[in-house]
Amino acid sequence: MDNIELSNGCKMPAIGYGTWQTGDGEAARCVRSAVEAGYRHIDTAYGYMNERGVGEGIRTCGIAREELFVATKHWITGRGYEKTLAQADESLRNLGLDYIDLYLVHWPAVAKTFDDWRRINADTWSAFEKLYHDGKVRAIGVSNYLPSHIEALREDCEIPPMVDQIEFHPGYWHRETVEWCKKNSIAVEGWSPLGCGKVLSSPLIGEIAAKYGRTPAQICIRYAIGHGVVPLPKSTRPDRIADNLRVFDFSLAAEDAAALDSMPQLGYSGFFPEDAPADELVRQMEK
Ligand code: A2P
C-alpha cells in the first residue's frame, strides 16, 4: 500500500478505514475485518463514541501496533488548553493505546458562534503542540478547517497542521481548500468519499465504473487518490470493506476525473464549517 509523507516525515497510509456512524458494539469486529482486508490506517473520533470498540479491534487484530496508523479526533466539548489535554488522555484510555499516530481537531471554532474563535482555536492547538512534543501523538492536524482557519492558526501557533480532513467526494469537494493545502504542505484526507453512499447511484459514476470494470465505490475512492487526497471509506460489511481497498491497480483517465470534478452537487452532508454544524448538534443534544 502507498504511503503519504507528512510534513514532519511521518508516513501515513494512502487510504484509511473510516468509522463514523459505526456503533461502539460493532466497531471491534469492523476494525478486525478492515485489518484482515489490508487496511493499516484506522480513523475514529472521540465524537463518534466508538473509540473503545475501535481500540479493542486494534488490540485484537493480530497486527503489531507499530504497523498500524491510528487517527482520532478531539471533540468540540474539549476546547481550550487544559480540557484538550484531559480529553486526549481520555481518548488514549478509551482506545487502550499509549500513543496516537494522528490527532486531529475535529471542528474549528468559527466567527458565527464565538467572537474569540481565533483564541479558542489557538488554545486548543497549543495543547496539541504539547501532546506532540510529549510524544503522545506522532502527528497533529485539523479537520473541517478552511484555509482562513488554518492561516489564523499558523500566525498564532508554532507548529503548522500536518493534515486537514474534509468532506471529499464526486459531487462535493473543496477545490480551493485542497489546492491551498497542497501549496502549503498540508496533507488532505477525505471523509465520506462515497458521499455517505448517496453518490453511488449517480448515472455518470455508473458509466465510468462500467468503462473500467469497477464498482462505483472504487471509482469514488480512486478519484480521491487521483487528487492526492487520502480517502476514508467506511462500511460495516466485510465484502465492501475489502472491495473498497482494491483501488491501487488502476487510475482514472484525465477526462473521467475532470467529468467527476465538474459534477453538479450531490451527496453533500450539509456540514459547512463556517455554519458551526457540530456546535449546533451539541446545542440540540443538550436541550
Ligand atoms: P454499509 O456499511 O452498509 O456498507 P462514506 O464512506 O462516504 O461515508 O459512505 C458510507 C456508506 O456507503 C455506508 O452507508 C456504507 O454502507 C456504504 N458503502 C460503503 N462501501 C460501499 C460499497 N462498496 N458499495 C456500496 N455501498 C457502500
Range(s) of the domain holding residue 246: 3-286
Q: DSSP 3-state assignment of 200?
A: coil
Cut 0.95: pTM above it: yes
Q: If you count DSSP H runs as helices and E runs as strands, how many of each does the chain have, helices first?
A: 11, 11
- Which residues, at least 6 apart from 175, have a Cβ–Cβ distance to it below 8 Å? 261
Number of domains in the chain: 1
pLDDT on residue 48: 97
Q: How much distance in Å is there from the Cα of 137 to the middle of ligand 1?
A: 29
DSSP annotation of 275 reads G
Residue 255: CATH number of its domain: 3.20.20.100
User: Could you confirm whether 268 is annotated as catalytic?
Assistant: no
Q: How far apart are CA 103 and CA 267, in angstroms?
A: 27
Encode the chain (287 residues) as per-residue pLDDT tens digits.
789 999 999 999 999 999 999 999 999 999 999 999 999 999 999 999 999 999 999 999 999 999 999 999 999 999 999 999 999 999 999 999 999 999 999 999 999 999 999 999 999 999 999 999 999 999 999 999 999 999 999 999 999 999 999 999 999 999 999 999 999 999 999 999 999 999 999 999 999 999 999 999 999 999 999 999 999 999 999 999 999 999 999 999 999 999 999 999 999 999 999 999 999 989 898 88
Identify the residues whose C-beta falls under 6 Å from ligand 1. 18, 192-197, 200, 215, 217, 233-237, 240, 243-244
Q: Of 223, 218, 176, 202, which is closest to residue 266 (Cα–Cα)?
A: 202
Q: Name the strand (E) or helix (H) holding 37.
A: helix 24-37
